[in-house]
Amino acid sequence: MISSNNTIFIGKVLYELLSVGSTNQYALDVLSKSKPTEGTIFITHDQYAGRGQSTNTWESEPNKNLTFSLVLYPTFLAARQQFLLNQAISLGVLTTLQYFIPKQCTIKWPNDLYVENRKITGMLIQNALKGSTIQSSVIGIGLNVNQHIFTSDAPNPTSVLLETGTSFTLASVLEYLCQQLERYYLLLKAGRFQALQQAYEQALFRVNQPHPYKRTDGSLCQGTIVGVTDTGLLRLQTERGEEQFALKEIGYVL
């Protein structure tokens, strides 16, 4: 699909798969038998069983979108710092979307990307730990580029085409995305943790805005997102004061 000449390592090695259930599972299988070069990408034209967070699936029409997995070795991060990698990758995708789409793009905690109230990108980051550090990371990204009809029951999907009225070559979007992922990963590697967290918090969907949220017991509460903790818990100001939530402990009411 591309030869990423404008990066140091991300996308320099790229394997194209005509069809695969999940690029993340494919990459994990490869990692179980070998050690691909850092920055290797496994990309497919047709991902028919893409995975999201928890048991979620990802709909992607063949040959219309970017569906790929990136292999990194962030051994410089402690296991307790895993969410920093999430922040860096999310910011790389966000910056890419902002380049192509002249509308408000945000990060819906922890790592969905939204255009206004519509979801355009999902991610699944799977880290392998060794002792107290991260040994390897497989980062699955599904970015809707040229799809214009969605048939799943997902409530609010969108694409670059739907938001701009323009079709883009997948190669051009991937080229720019590789550059931005590398940019933020190198900031992470340089220890710019505070700057990354600040940028991530400022880019959060509905940050500093009061909205209703749903607790695990089904009850609704009014809350305002004020940031995240170092380990990635969502900080929500509610009538009870500041509360902190892990994934699936609080739900957005869209």
Sheet containing strand 250-252, strands side by side: 241-245, 234-238, 220-228, 210-215, 250-252
Query: Distance (Å, rounded) from C-alpha 84 to C-alpha 200?
Result: 10
Q: Tell me, yes or no, if the pTM score tops 0.85.
A: yes
Closest CA to 83 of 188, 237, 230, 201: 230
Where is the domain boundary, 169, 186, 202? 202
Query: Distance (Å, rounded) from C-alpha 222 to C-alpha 241?
Result: 11
- Do residues 34 and 103 share a domain? yes
- Do residues 91 and 127 share a domain? yes
Q: Is residue 226 domain-resident?
A: yes
Residues 138, 28 contacting (CB under 8 angstroms): yes
Q: Is residue 4 domain-resident?
A: no
One digit per residue, the tens of pLDDT, for the chain of length 254 reads 555 568 999 999 999 999 999 999 999 999 999 999 999 999 999 998 866 555 556 688 999 999 999 999 999 999 999 999 999 999 999 999 999 999 999 999 999 999 999 999 999 999 999 999 999 999 999 999 999 999 877 789 999 999 999 999 999 999 999 999 999 999 999 999 999 999 999 999 999 999 999 999 999 999 999 999 999 999 999 999 999 999 999 999 98
Helices (H), the chain: 23-31, 82-100, 160-164, 170-189, 193-202
Q: Is residue 179 domain-resident?
A: yes
Domain containing 108: what range? 14-202
Residues in the chain: 254
Identity of residue 4:
S
Distance from the Cα of residue 40 to its chain's centroid: 17
- Do residues 116 and 238 share a domain? no
- Do residues 20 and 90 share a domain? yes
